Structure 1
Amino acid sequence: MKTFTSRPVILQVLPTLDAGGVERGTIEMVQAIAEAGGLPLVASAEGRLVPKVTYYGGRHIPLDLGRKSPLAILRNAIRLKSIIASEGVSLVHARSRAPAWAAKLACRRKKTPFVTTWHGVHNENFPGKKAYNAVLSEGDRVIAISNFIADRLKRDYGVNDERLRTIPRGADTLQFDPEAVRGERVRAVLESWNIDDDGAAIILMPARLTEWKGQGLLLDALAIMQREQWTTRPWVCVLVGSAPKKSGFPNTLEAQARELGIASHIRFGGHCSDMPAALALSEMIVVPSLRPEPFGRVVVEAQAMARPVIVAAHGAAMETVRHGETGLLFPPGDARALAEMIAATLEASVEQRMALGLAARENVLAHYTTRSMQQATLGVYDELLGTTLVVNRAATP
C-alpha cells in the first residue's frame, strides 16, 4: 500500500452523468472527496449532472465509457491509462460494467488501486453474462450497496470478506427534510402535474417508466380498489419518471388506465427536479417493483420525508422497511394485496400516517444517510491509499 502525502486524486468512471442512482452516488462522492481535501475526477459521457461535478469542486472528463464491444473497451482502457498518467490518479472507482472493464485493464497496467461498486441486480440470463458481470467483483475493494447484494457477491461471485464492503446508499437528510419544503415549491410541483389543490390524496410512484418497475401492477391495484369501493376519499396517482428513448411503455400504461376506467385519476409527471417537494405533497409512496431492487433509494428518500411507503417485499426493501413500523410490505406481484394496503393507508387517521412516517425518518437518520455512505466510502479509499480522507472530512463544518 502506497501512502500519499500529497492531495489524492480519485477518478470515478461510469457510462453517463444523467439522472439515476449511480449518477447521484457519483456526485455525492465528488462532494465528499473535495471536502476531504482530495481531487475528484469523473470520466463519463455528458449528462444533466455534469455541472454538479464542477459545483462540488471536481472536474469532468468527457469519455464515452458505455460502449460494450471488446474493441471499444480496449480503446477506452488506453484512454484511461493516459488519464491516470497525466492526472496523477491515485485510485479508480468504477460503478458500471463496461467502464469497469476498461478501468480494470488501465489500472492493471499502471498498478493503480481499483475499487468497484455493484449497484444493479445484473441478471445472468444468457451465456457469458455472468463473466461480463464479474468485473464488478474483481476490485481491490468491492462495495455492495445492500446486504442483499453482498450476499449475492459472496454466493455467486466468490467475493471474500477481506475485499467486500457493504455500504448502503442514503438520503440527504438536509435536502429530504419535511421541515425544509415550503409552499411555493409545492405549488410549482402541483401545477407541473396538472393537479388542482382540491384535497385529493396523492399516491406517488417515482420510478423510470419500464415494465419491471411495476407501474402496470399499480394500475391494476388502483382499479381493484376503485371497483370494490375500499375508500371514499378522492385520490390521484402520479407516475413520476421518464421512459427509455423510443419506448412505447408510456402509451401502454395510458391504454391500460383507460381500459381499467381510472384514466382520470392518473397523471404522468415525467422527470421531477424537486423530489423533496413531490414527496412532501404525497399521501404515500408506492414502490411495486416486479424484480428485487438492489437498494431502492426512493424508498429511503420517502422515509426521510416522513411519508408512508408501500413496497414489494423482496430485495433490499427487506432491509430498509420494517413492516408495520417504518412502512408496509406486500407480496411481490400481488395487485389485490397492494390495493388493500393503499386503501388502508388512505383510510388511516392522520395520526397513524404521521407515526409511521416519523418512525421511518428516525430509521433513516440512524442507518441510511448520505453522509454515512460518503464517510464509509472515503474509508475504503483510505484503506488502499493510506490517506486520512475520513478524518479530514470529519473536520469540515
Structure 2
Amino acid sequence: MSDQNYSYYEALNSEDTTTDFDFFKPSIGDKPPTIMQVLPALNSGGVERGTIEISKALVSSGWKSVVLSNGGSMVDELMDSGGVHVNLDIGSKNPLNWPNNYLRLKEAVYQYDVSLIHARSRMPAWLSLNVAKSTEIPFMTTFHGRHNDTNLLKKFYNSVMTRGQRTIAISKYIASEITQRYPIHPKQLSIIPRGVDTEYFNRKTVSEERINKIKANWKIPENIPIVMLPARVSRWKGHELLIESLAKLKDQLFFCVIVGPFDGKEKFKSKIEYLIRTHSLCSKVKFVGDCSDMAAAYSVADIVISASLDPEPFGRTIIEAQAMGNIVLASNHGGAVESIIEGKTGWLFEPRNSAALSDSLKNALTLTEHKRSIISNNAQEHIKEKFSTQLMCMRTLSVYSEILNLK
C-alpha cells in the first residue's frame, strides 16, 4: 500500500487529493492480497453489479480478485477486467450438496492463496464461514437487504451475515435493522452505500442515437413531461399507488412509462393494467418491460419515482436517476431518506399515501425550468460527491486493508 500509515477513511477525511486506487497498491516486493467474493450467481442485479465493481477496483489496485459463484451473464465482464471466476453452485440449499461445496470452496481458497473471503449471500456465507475458520483466514459479509426473522430458526440462518470480522451494511437503515436484531459490536459494522457509475449515468455521455432508439421503441410522445417508474413488477414496489396518484392528475399533461421485468408476475401486471383502464389512463400510462440501457431511459424521463410500499434497503434507481439529473420523488422511508436531500435534490412523500404522491407529482410537473435546472444540478453534484462507484470501492478496499492489517 501507500507508505502513508493511515487508512483510506483518514485520508479522505483529511481531504488528501491523491486518494485513488494507487493508494492501495502493494509496495514493491510485497505480496498482493487476494480477495475472494462469494455469491450464488453472476446474473444481473445490484449485488452482482457491486461484485464486478469491487473486482475491477481490486485489479486496478494491484490486488488479485477471485469470484466464486454458479456463473451467469456477467462472468465474461468479470474475466475481461482481470478477475478470476470459480464455478460452483455455492447457493444450493440442498444439504446433499453442502459437503462437496465445502471441499471445493476450501480447495479454491488454497489454490488461489486467498487472503480474505467476502460473502454476499446467506447460504454461501455459512460455507465460507466454516472454510475461513478451517483455513484461518478472515471472513466478512455484506448485508444487502432486509431478511425477515419469521422464527428462531430463520433468525439463526440470517445471523451468519453478522458472524465475520466485519459486516458491511449498504445503508444506515440496514445498519439499524442489523443492530436491532443481532448482537453485533459497533466496530464490526461498516456502512458503505452502494455506488453509481457517474460516467455511465451521465446525460453528457448518452448519445442522441441511444435516446432516439428508446423513444422509438417505447413510442414516447414529443413535448410532454415523461414520468417513469423503474421497478420490477411487484406488489411492494408501489405500482398500484402510482396509478391511483396519476388518476388524481388527469387534467395534467404527462406520459408515464413503467420500466422493469414482469416475469412470473403476469397476474399482478394484468391487475395493474385493469386499474389503468378503470381510471381511463390507457393513453397516459404504458408498460415497456425491461431495459438494457437505463442511462438512455433516464435521459428520456423528466420525473423518476420510487413508490415502494416497504422501505428500500438502499434504492439503486434513486441514485441513478439523480446522477442523470432527473427530478426524483421517493417514499419517505428506508434508504431513500439517506440519498435524497429534501427540496434540494428531490422530494420525499408519505409512504403508501396516493394523495401525498399526487401532490409531489403535481409540484414536480409544474416546476419552472429554472427551478428544475437547480434541482437537477444539485442532484448530480450530490451523487458525485457521496455515492460514486469509485467512493464505494475505495471504502470497501479500506475495510479489506484494515482487516488484513495492511499498512
For 2:122 and 2:378, the matched residues in 1 are separated by 37
Change (3 A) 1:62 1:252: farther
For 1:139 and 1:41, the matched residues in 2 are separated by 19
- State the superposition RMSD in angstroms: 1.8
* 1:323-374 deviations in Å (ceiling 9; x for gaps): 1111110011001111111122111112211211211112112211111110
Runs of 5+ unmatched residues, structure 1? 389-397
Show the counterpart of 2:18: none
Greater RCO (CA < 8 Å, at least 6 residues apart):
1
Show the counterpart of 2:405: 386
Moved more, 373-382 or 154-163: 154-163
Query: Any conservation in 2 of the 1:121–1:292 contact (CA below 8 Å)?
Result: no
- What pairs up with 1:336-347 in 2 under 5 angstroms? 336-347=355-366
TM-superposed deviation, 1:264: 2.7
For 1:73 and 1:295, the matched residues in 2 are separated by 31
The two structures have a TM-score, normalised by structure 1, of 0.91
Show the counterpart of 1:158: 183
Partner-residue secondary structure (3-state), 2:209:
helix
Show the counterpart of 2:203: 178
For 2:268 and 2:80, the matched residues in 1 are separated by 35
Show the counterpart of 2:13: none
* 1:144-184 deviations in Å (ceiling 9; x for gaps): 11111112222221221221111111111111122222211
Show the counterpart of 2:246: 222
For 2:66 and 2:40, the matched residues in 1 are separated by 14
Partner-residue secondary structure (3-state), 1:57:
coil
Partner-residue secondary structure (3-state), 1:15:
coil
- What pairs up with 1:287-326 in 2 under 5 angstroms? 287-326=306-345
Query: Any conservation in 2 of the 1:73–1:99 contact (CA below 8 Å)?
Result: no
- What pairs up with 1:268-283 in 2 under 5 angstroms? 268-283=287-302
Match for 1:132 among 157, 162, 174?
157
Moved more, 264-273 or 155-164: 264-273
Match for 1:202 among 204, 226, 229?
226
Query: Any conservation in 2 of the 1:14–1:66 contact (CA below 8 Å)?
Result: yes
Q: Which amino acid counterpart does residue 375 of structure 1 have in structure 2?
A: M
Q: Which amino acid counterpart does residue 288 of structure 2 have in structure 1?
A: G
For 1:140 and 1:305, the matched residues in 2 are separated by 36
TM-superposed deviation, 1:267: 2.2
Query: Any conservation in 1 of the 2:40–2:89 contact (CA below 8 Å)?
Result: yes
Change (3 A) 1:219 1:66: farther
TM-superposed deviation, 1:143: 0.5
For 2:331 and 2:182, the matched residues in 1 are separated by 26
- What pairs up with 1:1-397 in 2 under 5 angstroms? 5-196=30-221, 198-226=222-250, 229=251, 231=252, 233=253, 235-245=254-264, 248-387=267-406
For 2:125 and 2:262, the matched residues in 1 are separated by 26
Partner-residue secondary structure (3-state), 1:41:
strand
Query: Any conservation in 2 of the 1:31–1:57 contact (CA below 8 Å)?
Result: yes
The two structures have a TM-score, normalised by structure 2, of 0.89
Q: Which amino acid counterpart does residue 213 of structure 1 have in structure 2?
A: K
TM-superposed deviation, 1:239: 1.4
For 1:238 and 1:46, the matched residues in 2 are separated by 32
Moved more, 329-338 or 208-217: 208-217
Query: Any conservation in 2 of the 1:73–1:101 contact (CA below 8 Å)?
Result: no
For 2:112 and 2:264, the matched residues in 1 are separated by 35
Partner-residue secondary structure (3-state), 2:249:
helix
TM-superposed deviation, 1:244: 4.3
For 1:46 and 1:319, the matched residues in 2 are separated by 33
For 2:266 and 2:44, the matched residues in 1 are separated by 17
* 1:23-69 deviations in Å (ceiling 9; x for gaps): 11111101101101112111112322222101221122222222224
Partner-residue secondary structure (3-state), 1:209:
coil
For 1:192 and 1:115, the matched residues in 2 are separated by 44
Query: Any conservation in 2 of the 1:12–1:43 contact (CA below 8 Å)?
Result: yes
Partner-residue secondary structure (3-state), 1:204:
strand
Identity of aligned residues (%): 39
* 1:75-111 deviations in Å (ceiling 9; x for gaps): 4222211211122111111111111112112211111
Runs of 4+ displaced beyond 4 Å: none
Query: Any conservation in 1 of the 2:214–2:297 contact (CA below 8 Å)?
Result: yes
Number of residue pairs the alignment of both structures matches: 380
For 1:17 and 1:52, the matched residues in 2 are separated by 10
For 1:192 and 1:74, the matched residues in 2 are separated by 49
Query: Any conservation in 2 of the 1:284–1:310 contact (CA below 8 Å)?
Result: yes
